[in-house]
Structure 1
């Protein structure tokens, strides 16, 4: 089951057109990532103590529908691992009626804080910090 977190659009997140400012969509996805990884058992402080930390390498947002003040939304967080030094974390920002307001795709890695380079197997480092991938797996 894909991880989801409910949020409410706050009035101070709006731009001059009266809908959510573009940068706030990134923040919504970040809230879902941080909450999702915590729900999956991965604590960033514990990772940093082990001299590793997640790093965001890129974010792409596809805006589909506008969001306005006081709307209830849900933001998903789904981690996708393959081979290599990076992995994807995707989020859907969905309105209460099920309409997708935005799709957010992020590429992340895990940095070795001493070498200042990405680790070869980010999933293994995350799992060593308590990460349970099934919590952020695809599904309904």
Structure 2
């Protein structure tokens, strides 16, 4: 099952055109990432205790449909590991009727906070901190 978190669009998140400001989409994805990692057994305090932290290296948003005040949305969180120092954490913002509002694609690394360098094997390090990648499976394609 895909991790999803409900959010209600707040009026102060709107721009002059009356729809959600572009920067707020990044905040919605961050809410999904933080809550998704916690649901997968790996919270911020646990990572900080290990002197590691996820760092966002790149993010791309594809805007599909506008969001307006008081809309109920869901934001998904999906993690894809490969080889190397980075991994993907992607989100899809979906309106209550199933319409995709935005797709957010992120490249993330796990930083050693003492050395200030990315860890070579982020998946193994996250799993050692309690992270269960099965919780953040591929999101549904609408």
Aligned to 2:48: 48
Segments ≥4 residues shifted beyond 3 Å:
none
Match of 1:138 in 2: 138
Q: Do the aligned residues in 1 keep the contact of 2:93 with 2:101 (CA within 8 Å)?
A: yes
Report the Cα offset of residue 114 of structure 1.
1.1
- Alignment TM-score, normalising by the size of structure 1: 0.97
Q: Structure 1: where are the runs of 5+ without partners? A: none
Runs of 5+ unmatched residues, structure 2: none
Tell me what 1:83 maps to.
83
Figure out how many residues of one structure are paired with residues of the other and give that number.
140
Match of 1:29 in 2: 29
Which whole-Å deviations, capped at 9, do the CAs of 1:1-30 have from their partners, x for residues lacking one? 110001000000000000000000000000
What RMSD in Å do the two structures reach over aligned CA positions?
Answer: 0.9
User: What's the offset of the Cα at 1:69?
Assistant: 0.3
- Aligned position for 2:93: 93
Give the distance between the partners of 2:43 and 2:7, measured in 1 at CA.
Answer: 22
Provide the TM-score with structure 2 as the length reference. Answer: 0.96
* Offset, 1:53: 1.0
Q: Distance in 1 between matches of 2:135 and 2:17?
A: 37
